[in-house]
Amino acid sequence: MSLGSSNIQAKHLQHLRDKPIDGLVLKELVQAGLTWLRTNQALVNSLNVFPVPDGDTGTNMTLTMQSAWNEIAELGTRNVGEMAAAVAKGALMGARGNSGVILSQLWRGFSRGLHGAEILDGPTLVKGFVEARDTAYKGVVRPVEGTILTVSKDAAAAAESALAETQDPIEILERIVPAADASVQNTPELLPVLKQAGVVDSGGKGLFFIYEGMLRYFNGEPLDVPTMNVQPMSALNLQNAMESVEEGQDYEVVVDFFPDGALDLQSFYGKLEGMGTSIQVGEGEGMYRMHIHVPLDKRYEPIDYIMGLGTISKVAMENLLAQMDDIQKSKSEKIELQVVEPGQIAVVVVSPGKGLSRIFASLGAGAIVEGGQTMNPSTQEILAAFENLPTDKVIILPNNRNIILAANQAKEVTVKQVAVVPSKTVPQGLAAMLAHNPDGEVDAVAGKMSKSLASVQTGEITIATRTVEIDGVNVEMGQVIALLDGKLVLAAASVEEAVVGFLEKAEAGKHELITFYYGEDLNRHEAFRIVDVAREKYSAQEIEMQDGGQPHYPFLISVE
Amino acid sequence: MGKENTTFGSIHISPAAVATIAYRASLESYGVVGLAPRNLAEGLAHSLTREPARGVAVRFDGETIDIDIHVIIEYGTRITSVANSVANTVRFHVERALGLKVNTVSVHVAGLRVSNLD
């Protein structure tokens, strides 16, 4: 920028500041607030975690402000009170969502404070903020703190205390904006749901952007480039940045660092923008965290650059493309259930793990209910699983002794023809599934399936949750235990020891097939290693291993 | 009304419990300044009530819940937006607390409270 044009700009800014705030300037301010809010709308939406479904806070507030702007777009009055009244009317007419209604109330109160005023001077501005707060708080019986209401309250308090030192409305606004910012950052301390989600309140943030947009207007700062603020570390929402990857932005780089001296944000952002996108900066107790997405060839550039600014304490780099592949893959791993034809028998299976669900589905299960030892599904959940199936013939496999009762109750409640095959374990359920025939009569098929339950012995390997003596076996809490068909048979120091001991108790050597289903807590390699130990010992038997995905049980074992 | 069977016994949820949740949720909704007794809703909308069961009617047909709420709204707010928020908030809180599906939430605006005339 040449010296000449910067002079002209400085002069223009001075003029803006010296000019009294009349109706037309207020109109500009409303537009600035709207524009700045709209520019940052996505950011506000991303904060939307408040458990009340309020749509998208940023969108709702922007539409409310837009409606206010539409009301005054053609209005030429210089009277600031009249202009404010029109803004309030427009905001009221277009108020959307909870935050929009509160915003319209704030404008209503603000316009009340400006009633009869020609010019917006300092005291009038303060009156407007105070009235805005009072009006907003009147609209609710139980105000929730840590929301947009709190931010309006803190802004009004800052305005009131500023009045003791200055009468200039712009200087007052200059104190309101940082106070509103601080108030927004403090919202997680007041509202636990925000703290849990690690964000600040979205409505409060939206209100802050409106205030800040007005101040930026006076400072001649651009309103169309999203904000480059530093958030508190807890407000950094890095998960959101992971959801989509732009073309060429292959790596996510996160750098924690302590800058030498104050960080010049303007140039910091400027430099980073030359390297990548999705820039976020957080700060906590003097440490800064920078997050950016960069293309492959620039992956070290942010680190080199920040190295020159201070001391780096930690660098994390992740390959986004590979992660996206994983996400895609897990989506495509959706379990495909057997399509149930009208009149056929549908089998409803209670399954404790993803891998087991997949195996049941491949054997012809028509519906899966998640559940098992520590998470018994309710009668309602079992009912819901089959009520919408296009058949009235249903067989339920509870696969756990504690769920058989709920399954029987589902049978009583429904009008459909239901049989419960009392499978007490997953291996029993799988054995029954193999005997299933979708085109028979319910009772006959269920009878056949029930008979097959006895053909299999079930082993359950798990960790003891307390010290106890059952069935003559002493168990210390934390030991690995093995159950044979529901009976405790031994306690051991390791999963491997428990598996070996169980196979002996089950007399695996006299059977043909041993199948291992390893659980979600067991590392795949460890599972392979233990199964290999079993393979060596039982070379005459056929041994299979499947990913069961069940919690709490490192292994479910079937011996048949 | 709401009944759930577990291995240990059964759980019954009374309509009054649902009404209390709905009552609290509506009072936390922005723009609602009180609930009106539904039987007197016609003429006595001003007499605000603190008794939950009076501003809220809960019906249960064995599967889903229907809720009627009679509210008094702050004059000067956009009534449709406030009523929508009430319906959403009540539905959310009841479903979260009970795990039962709420079929309809009907919000009846029984009156407006004028705290300031513009």
Kindly identify which residue of chain A lies nearest to residue B85, measuring between CA atoms: A98
pLDDT at B68: 92
- Residue A233 counted as domain residue: no
Q: By a Cβ cutoff of 8 Å, what residues of chain B touch chain A? A: 4-7, 27-34, 74, 76-78, 81-82, 84-85, 88-89, 92, 96, 115-116, 118
Instruction: Provide the mean pLDDT of chain A.
Output: 84
Minimum-distance CB partner of A101 among B33, B77, B118: B77
Mark B9-42 as b/e (b = at least 16 C-beta within 10 Å): eeeebebebbbbbbbebbbbbbbbbbbbbbeeee
- Residue A1 counted as domain residue: no
Per the listing, tokens 């009054």 go with B16
Q: Residue A62 maps to which CATH number?
A: 1.25.40.340
Kindly identify which residue of chain B lies nearest to residue A50, measuring between CA atoms: B89
Percent of chain A with pLDDT over 70: 90
pLDDT at A243: 42
C-beta neighbour count of B92 within 10 angstroms: 17
**Token representation of residue A80:** 């600031």
**Token representation of residue A280:** 């976020």
**A186-200, A221-235, A368-382 — which is least confidently predicted?**
A221-235
**A118-132, A315-329, A421-435, A524-538 — which is least confidently predicted?**
A315-329
Sign of the torsion formed by the C-alpha atoms of A161, A165, A166 and A172? negative
Same domain, A344 and A368: yes
User: Distance from B61 to chain A by nearest Cα, in Å?
Assistant: 15
DSSP 8-class letter at A229: P
**Token representation of residue A30:** 């409303």
Residue with the larger pLDDT of the pair A3 and A166? A166
Identity of the amino acid at A284: G
- Cβ <8 Å between A402 and B89: no
Beta-ladder partners of A461 = A482, A555
Within an 8 Å CB–CB cutoff, is residue A241 touching chain B?
A: no
pLDDT in tens, A369-381: 888 777 788 888 8
- Residue B95 counted as domain residue: yes
pLDDT in tens, B58-68: 888 777 789 99
**A232-236, A461-465, B71-75 — which is least confidently predicted?**
A232-236
Within an 8 Å CB–CB cutoff, is residue A112 touching chain B?
A: yes
- Cβ <8 Å between A108 and B118: yes
- Cβ <8 Å between A101 and B34: no
Range of the domain at B37: 2-113
- Cβ <8 Å between B78 and A93: yes
Residue A2 has pLDDT above 50, yes or no: no
Sign of the torsion formed by the C-alpha atoms of A10, A12, A16 and A17? positive
- Cβ atoms A517, A355 nearer than 8 A: yes
Same domain, A450 and A402: yes
Number of DSSP helices (H) and strands (E) in chain A, helices first:
22, 17
Of B103, B85, B67, B69, which is closest to residue B28 (Cα–Cα)?
B85
User: Distance from B30 to chain A by nearest Cα, in Å?
Assistant: 5
Region of B9 please: left (phi>0), alpha (psi -120 to 50) or beta.
Answer: left
List Cβ neighbours of A518 (8 Å cut-off, separation of 6 or more): A524, A527, A531, A545, A546, A547, A548, A554, A555
How large is the ipTM? 0.74
Beta-ladder partners of A25 = none
Please state the domain count of chain B: 1
- Cβ <8 Å between A52 and B88: yes
User: Distance from A278 to chain B by nearest Cα, in Å?
Assistant: 33
Chain A residues with CB-CB distance to B88 below 8 A: 52-54
**pTM of the predicted model as reported, rounded to 2 decimal places:** 0.53
- Cβ atoms A422, A453 nearer than 8 A: yes
- Cβ atoms A453, A428 nearer than 8 A: yes
How far apart, in Å, are the Cα atoms of A112 and each of A96, A105, A150, A200?
21, 10, 20, 29
pLDDT at A91: 92
Average pLDDT over residues A384-409: 86
Residue A162 has pLDDT above 90, yes or no: yes
- Cβ atoms A184, A128 nearer than 8 A: no
d(CA A190, CA A495): 47
Same domain, A122 and A144: yes
How far apart, in Å, are the Cα atoms of A25 and each of A63, A163, A171, A195?
21, 21, 16, 39
d(CA A12, CA A39): 24
Average pLDDT over residues A553-560: 91
Q: Residue A259 maps to which CATH number?
A: 3.30.70.260
- Cβ atoms A102, A153 nearer than 8 A: no
Residue with the larger pLDDT of the pair A553 and A322? A553
d(CA A474, CA A133): 68
Pairing of strands B102-113, B65-74: parallel
- Cβ <8 Å between B81 and A97: yes
- Cβ <8 Å between A140 and B33: yes
Same domain, A244 and A201: no
Kindly identify which residue of chain A lies nearest to residue B92, measuring between CA atoms: A52
List Cβ neighbours of B68 (8 Å cut-off, separation of 6 or more): B38, B56, B57, B58, B59, B106, B108
List Cβ neighbours of A514 (8 Å cut-off, separation of 6 or more): A503, A508, A534, A538, A541, A542, A543, A544, A557, A558, A559
pLDDT band, very low/low/confident/very high, at B38 (cuts 50, 70, 90): low
List Cβ neighbours of A50 (8 Å cut-off, separation of 6 or more): A57, A147, A193, A194, A201, A202, A203
- Residue A379 counted as domain residue: yes
Residue with the larger pLDDT of the pair A1 and B92? B92
pLDDT at A80: 95
Same domain, A268 and A384: no
pLDDT in tens, A3-24: 455 677 777 788 888 889 999 9
Chain B residues with CB-CB distance to A144 below 8 A: 28
pLDDT in tens, A91-150: 988 888 788 889 999 999 999 999 999 999 999 999 999 999 999 998 888 888 999 999
Of A140, A134, A132, which is closest to residue A108 (Cα–Cα)?
A132
Sign of the torsion formed by the C-alpha atoms of A260, A263, A267 and A270? positive
- Cβ atoms A516, A430 nearer than 8 A: no
- Residue A232 counted as domain residue: no
Q: Residue B107 maps to which CATH number?
A: 3.30.70.1350
pLDDT band, very low/low/confident/very high, at A388 (cuts 50, 70, 90): confident
**A75-89, A250-264, A385-399 — which is least confidently predicted?**
A250-264
Q: What does chain A come to in residues?
A: 560
* Full DSSP string of A137-174: HHT-SSPPSSSHHHHHHHHHHHHHHHTTT---HHHHHH
Listed residues A455, A480, A513: the one ending a domain: A455
- Residue B118 counted as domain residue: no
Same domain, A462 and A431: no
How far apart, in Å, are the Cα atoms of B83 and each of A11, A52, A352, A474, B89?
50, 14, 42, 63, 10
d(CA A63, CA A72): 15
- Cβ <8 Å between B77 and A104: yes
Same domain, A286 and A420: no
Residue B29, φ and ψ in degrees, nearest 5: -75, 135
- Cβ atoms A69, A54 nearer than 8 A: no
DSSP 8-class letter at A296: G
User: Distance from A92 to chain B by nearest Cα, in Å?
Assistant: 6
- Cβ <8 Å between B33 and A108: no
Within an 8 Å CB–CB cutoff, is residue A102 touching chain B?
A: yes
Of A371, A365, A370, which is closest to residue A395 (Cα–Cα)?
A365
Could you give the angle at the alpha carbon of A92 between the alpha carbons of A91 and A93, nearest 5°?
Answer: 95
Please state the domain count of chain A: 4
DSSP 8-class letter at A372: B
Average pLDDT over residues A205-221: 93
Same domain, A222 and A89: yes
Within an 8 Å CB–CB cutoff, is residue A93 touching chain B?
A: yes
Within an 8 Å CB–CB cutoff, is residue A105 touching chain B?
A: yes
Same domain, A515 and A551: yes
Same domain, A492 and A531: yes
Q: Which of B21, B69, B78 to probe by mutation at the A interface, max A CB count within 10 Å? A: B78
Same domain, A139 and A254: no
pLDDT band, very low/low/confident/very high, at A316 (cuts 50, 70, 90): confident
pLDDT at A396: 93
Range of the domain at A462: 457-559
d(CA A511, CA A534): 14
H or E stretch including A122?
helix A122-138
Chain B residues with CB-CB distance to A105 below 8 A: 74, 76-77
User: Can you give the three-state secondary structure of A475-513, one letter per residue?
Assistant: ECCCCEEEEECCEEEEEECCHHHHHHHHHHHCCHHHCCE
Same domain, A388 and A515: no
